[in-house]
Amino acid sequence: MSDRSDGPADADLPDDVDAPDPETLEPGADDSAVEEAAKRVPRGVPLRVEGLRKEFGGITAVDGATFSVEQGSLTGLIGPNGAGKSTTFNCITGVHEPTDGTVHFRGEDITGDRPHAIANRGLVRTFQIARELDEMTVLENMMLAPGGQRGESITRSVLPGLRSDVVGQETELREDAWETLEFFEIDHLAEEYAGNLSGGQRKLLELARALMTEPDMMLLDEPFAGVNPTLEEKLLDRIHALREQEDLTFLLVEHDMDLIMENCEHVIVMHQGRVLDEGTPEKIKANEEVIEAYLGGEV
Ligand code: ADP
Ligand code: MG
């Protein structure tokens, strides 16, 4: 994994970010320090979804969902089958174009942007490893992870007439790939074909691949499906480590309520395409409407 210590102080920040937190400024800080702080994205709310709506023919999959996700949080998105969770993810990450509503990421309107453009901004979701990647090794899968310009450098590097900077980039990419595999403790599988991995190892690889894009925020749609308890523990541990070490933000769809309640500090409940409730796990657990949504009122 590459060094992210430069944090969110990117140069291409929107103008409409909130004022800097005065507590982060030294007393007597000069104007340039103030400007620097103003450029920084405030700790706050990287993702805002407002009035999101998605229709497929006659079906309204998402029906005016509004919510936001706090920086560095592990936020759970729950709801019964068909509630619109996956469609919401697809609208946020550009897989589907919303019928209505807006998606803002780090202060910028990304509604309807292409998936690669959104990923390049640092908002990614995991994707199942495509069948053709089964024929490649774990390391090759990592090197081919969608990484914007770095992905192109690989294509160029197989062409004759290599430039040294291209070689340098590939070396860096390979090092990143190894470090990320080590982080997920699947580096011993680097030369294994992806098709030979267990379901759980595959999930770890999916997460590892997504991390190669150096995201600021990840959307995980049922990442623990088919994962044994030991690997599930490991995945959760890595997610929490990424939050602490790199200030990554996670939005997680998961049907295991215990897992959600134990690991998320904020929970959003969707039902029939809308946000039914949101809040702390304690608040959600106490909401009878939520129980009804899940159990059809048979409580
Ligand atoms: P969840 O992930 O919460 O189970 P989904 O977002 O997958 O729910 O689905 C919400 C609703 O939208 C369901 O009724 C589903 O059948 C429908 N739906 C989802 N994707 C499509 C699609 N591509 N075309 C038509 N209907 C869809
Ligand atoms: Mg789903």
User: 119, 72, 43: which is closest to 246 by C-alpha?
Assistant: 72
Domains of the chain: 47-122+217-226+248-299 (3.40.50.300), 129-214 (no CATH)
Whether residue 56 has its Cβ less than 6 Å from ligand 1: yes
Ligand nearest to the CA of 62: 1
Residue 18 has pLDDT above 60, yes or no: no
> Strand 266-271's sheet: what is its strand order?
123-125, 217-221, 249-253, 74-78, 266-271, 274-279
Q: Checking phi first, is residue 84 left (phi over 0); if not, alpha (psi -120 to 50) or beta?
A: left
Whether residue 167 has its Cβ less than 6 Å from ligand 1: no
- Check: CB of residue 67 under 8 Å from CB of residue 46: no
Q: Point out the ligand 1 atom lying closest to the alpha carbon of residue 87.
A: 6
Residue 145 has pLDDT above 70, yes or no: yes
CA distances from 28 to 9, 18, 40, 95 (A): 21, 21, 19, 47
At 50, is the secondary structure helix, strand, or coil? Answer: strand
Residue 9 has pLDDT above 80, yes or no: no
Whether residue 61 has its Cβ less than 6 Å from ligand 1: yes
Q: Point out the ligand 1 atom lying closest to the alpha carbon of residue 96.
A: 23
**Residue 98 β-bridge partners:** none
- Helix (H) or strand (E) run with residue 282 in it: helix 281-285
Q: Point out the ligand 1 atom lying closest to the alpha carbon of residue 80.
A: 3
Question: What pLDDT, on a 0 to 100 scale, did the predictor assign at position 118?
Answer: 96
How far apart CA 73 and CA 267 sit, in angstroms, is: 10
The DSSP string of 144-157 is TS--THHHHHHHHH
pLDDT band at 47 (very low <50, low <70, confident <90, very high): very high
pLDDT tens, 179-218?
999 999 999 999 999 999 998 899 899 999 999 988 999 9
Q: What is the mean pLDDT of the chain?
A: 83
Query: What is the Å distance from ligand 2's center to 202 Cα?
Result: 19
How far apart CA 47 and CA 39 sit, in angstroms, is: 18
| Global confidence as pTM | 0.79
- Site of tokens 């620097």: 36
pLDDT tens, 273-293?
999 999 999 999 898 888 787
- Helix (H) or strand (E) run with residue 125 in it: strand 123-125
Whether residue 82 has its Cβ less than 6 Å from ligand 1: yes
Whether residue 225 has its Cβ less than 6 Å from ligand 1: no
